[in-house]
Structure 1
């Protein structure tokens, strides 16, 4: 249940934050553009009639802002974008409209909040994402190299690919290219595999 005097909606981006605050007593709407600095946002929130509650959409900027506001006693709800109710017929989307809409939904308790992970949980998620990205990069690099070799008529038949024996075959094949251009293309692809793969 909404109990604070002022509801604030933040449309958060990497380089700017558009904020809208609704004073529940006077009905006044205040809108500003802020920097994404947590200090800048906190400083502006402190100038509003309190207590204050804040909502912003979950997104690529993460949950640091939520933690920074909660740390100074400001309730902050991170809202699931896919569950946001949008005004019917409103097809023109702007940052300012989004901020006001969030402020209104917060006041009405008409939103679905996501669970804010701890710093440790978010760090673990980032590590898992980084591993998945690296794995995808390796698969793409291997695929490009394999297709280059296939186009040149080289097919490995000495067992499982991407083993020590396969690597020795690749190095031997690399010396067999007669064209300097093809050799350079092969070396570039092979180096890309080794770079992404890392040390054995």
Structure 2
């Protein structure tokens, strides 16, 4: 049971083990508490993989926006239609920007 889901009255500020135990017993008896799922290591590994993939996809999208902004700032237009095709990537590798620092 998640401790944050245990119902508590506003005037019950004093915390003792005895009161907590009695409150838990009453709540369990009246079925006010809901059980929580503790994830297995496999579940956590999948969640970590998913979060990492989402972060990588977000970073990729931001990098694409930055590249487009740099090209627009230098008034360089892409003649192709797709932004991440092989033809477009080849065009980017052959592109020479006006200043060496760019």
Separation in 2 of the partners of 1:88 and 1:155? 64
Which string of whole-angstrom CA distances, capped at 9 and with x for unpartnered residues, describes residues 87-125 of structure 1? Answer: 548xxxxxxx8xx59x83645435444211221122112
Q: Give the secondary structure class of the aligned counterpart of 1:159.
A: coil
What 5-or-longer segments of structure 2 have no aligned partner?
A: none
1:144 Cα shift? 1.1
Q: Is the contact between residue 80 and residue 112 of structure 1 (CA under 8 Å) also seen in structure 2?
A: no
Q: Which residue of 1 aligns with 2:86?
A: 164
4+ residue runs over 6 A deviation:
none
User: When you count strand as a share of all residues, which structure comes out higher?
Assistant: 1
Give matches, 1:59-138, under 5 Å.
Answer: 77=1, 79=2, 81=4, 83=5, 85=7, 88=10, 100=15, 104=20, 106-109=24-27, 111-138=33-60
Residue of structure 2 equivalent to 1:187: none
Normalising by structure 2, we get a TM-score of 0.67
Q: Which runs of 5+ in 1 are unaligned?
A: 1-76, 90-96, 184-200
Structure with max Cα Rg: 2
Q: Counting helix residues as a fraction of each chain, which structure ranks higher? A: 2
> Aligned-residue CA RMSD in angstroms?
3.0
TM-score for both structures, normalised by structure 1: 0.38
